[in-house]
Amino acid sequence: MTILLPILGDQLSLSLASLSTTNPEDAVVLMMEVAGEASAPRHHKKKIAFLFSAMRHHAEALRAAGWRVDYVRLDDPENSGSLGGEINRAIARHKATRLITVEAGCWRLIKEQPGWGGGRVPVDVLADDRFLVSRAWFADWAEGRKRMLMEDFYRLVRKQTGLLMEGDKPIGGKWNFDHDNRKPPAKGTAYPPPSQFPPDAITEGVLALVEARFGAHFGDLGPCALPVTREQALESLADFIALRLPRFGDYQDAMVAGEDGLFHSQLSALINCGLLGPMEVCCAAEQAFKDGIAPLNAVEGFIRQIIGWREYVRGIHWIAGPEYETRNHLEATRPLPAFYWTGDTKMHCLSEAVRATRQNAHAHHIQRLMVLANFALVAGIDPAEVSEWFLIVYADAYEWVETPNVIGMGLFADGGLMASKPYAASGAYINRMSDYCRGCVHDVKKRTGEGACPFNSLYWDFVARNREKLGKNHRMLRMYDGWDRFDDDEQARIRSHAATVLDALAPSD
């Protein structure tokens, strides 16, 4: 009897449920590089290289742990190009009598998994227990709620995990130190460089393969010095705890031209693919607070990103259903502008965010939310196009985490299921939290006229054109009061300027 254990590219954990419930002597682990998953959609070259290299290294770790591993490379001449095709070939190759797999993170594969093997062998699909909250737990919590506020969820998970707790009370007397975590970048601040891991022979082989097969995809492939093993992931975590976490809280919302990491962890891709566990990361941060290495506001803010937002958006993804990605509450239909791919725009904040994305397959959360998603929101860009772009370009992006963050948080396309108001902002926010505006040809203090910052007129135009849907939102009342204080002529100038900005946007091919 041979049990086949297919492992996906974001399931690179030695404690995966299918491994934990199976005897290595009875099983063959199947890992697959397939063109269908790399090209639909056409993922960032560095994202593909990161995952293929991490997969190949993980296969070696599995072998060292005593597992038989059948690894299908992309350049295998018999490679069918699809997960289903490779599973069928492996069943025949190993005469498998049973298949055990762990649920995928997207609706398409969730629907396919029970049918893997074409009915020839029984298929067990196990829950992914690498998260702190199960799908069933979240569904029970969400049942009957009109609005599922993350803060309510976060407090429950804090109590459940015991992180930063003293009995039933939060350490420091507050659940949330977000108010302390909004400092603009300070002049002269030195930002620690990211951890660097020169490519070994395995990674070099992957880089050559990706360049040959996916060279036309978006993004820069080199230089590539990403962590791709469990050991390197742990080193990256230790590096963050020692060098970045102490100042992460203060500057987590800051943006600085040419500085792509600042004090952010850049661990999300490692957690989301399984090389790090969410609880071990949170415990390391909590220990840093206990040891006096990092202050409470930094540690609480970081832990909230993981046990709050990460777990929360996963729950939203599953309870909202596969149609969630098609929601478009504000009826935005404008095509995605070409500069999201090229970075060719005079708006310095956007060109910087796209540059970081192109070079690193990464941008930190404020660049994503308050620059890239904010522009798409106020410009009325089609949410489906924006969502697909985010899924393509970031190494940490998978459907379960990307779709709620973009559709719900970034674009308010779900009508308020996640966020209590749209995260729309004018150029003033970007100016306050970054140094981008000092290097921009646009004047952030001007709403209209030559050289005016496009974010300003687009923000007010967004407020005006969505009044029917947003005018009764209590958190938008101040914005509408501000709009109503403009006289008719100023309102007309603002909307005319916004129309000029929008008409000048070249759509992507």
C-alpha to C-alpha distances, 399 to 134, 382, 390, nearest whole angstrom = 17, 17, 10
CB 400 within 8 A of CB 107: no
- The Cα–Cα gap between 212 and 53 comes to 15
Q: What is the pTM for the complete model shown?
A: 0.97
In angstroms, the CA 82 to CA 40 distance is: 11
pLDDT at 180: 80
Q: Which run of H or E residues covers position 281?
A: helix 278-290
What is the rounded CA–CA span in Å between residue 74 and residue 64? 23
CATH number, domain 3-126:
3.40.50.620
Q: Could you say which DSSP state residue 264 is in?
A: -
| Contact of 345 with 339, CB cutoff 8 Å | yes
pLDDT < 70 regions, the chain: none
**Domain boundary assignment for the chain:** 3-126, 135-192+244-320, 339-503
pLDDT tens-digit series, residues 82-137: 999 999 999 999 999 999 999 999 999 999 999 998 889 999 999 999 999 999 99
339-503: CATH, from 1.10.287.130, 1.10.579.10, 3.30.2350.10, 3.20.20.30: 1.10.579.10
Check residue 117 and give its pLDDT. Answer: 86
Count the Cβ atoms, other than its own, within 10 Å of residue 213: 17
Tokens 């998970």 belong to 157
Q: What is the DSSP string of 458-497?
A: HHHHHHHHTHHHHTT-GGGHHHHHHHHHS-HHHHHHHHHH
The DSSP code for 260 is S
Determine the Cα–Cα distance for residues 197 and 235; give it in Å rounded to an integer. Answer: 10
- Residue 156 in tokens: 């429950």
Looking at residue 178, what is its pLDDT? 85
CA distance 373 to 353: 11
Is residue 256 within 8 A of residue 262, CB to CB? The reply is yes
Q: What's the CA gap between 71 and 62, in Å, rounded?
A: 11
DSSP-derived secondary structure for 136-179? HHHHHHHTT-SS--HHHHHHHHHHHH-TTEETTEEGGG-S--GG
pLDDT tens-digit readout, 159-217? 999 999 999 999 999 999 988 888 999 888 999 998 899 999 999 999 999 999 999 99
Q: Which two tokens stand for residue 43?
A: 């993922």
CA-CA distance, 266 to 225, in Å (whole number)? 13
The whole-number pLDDT of residue 182 equals: 84
Residues contacting residue 140 through CB under 8 Å, at least 6 positions apart: none
Task: Please give the Cα distance from 273 to 82 (Å, whole number).
Answer: 20
Going 256 to 258 to 260 to 263, the CA torsion angle's sign is: negative
CATH C-level class of 135-192+244-320: mainly alpha
Cα torsion through 380, 381, 382, 383, rounded to 10? -90
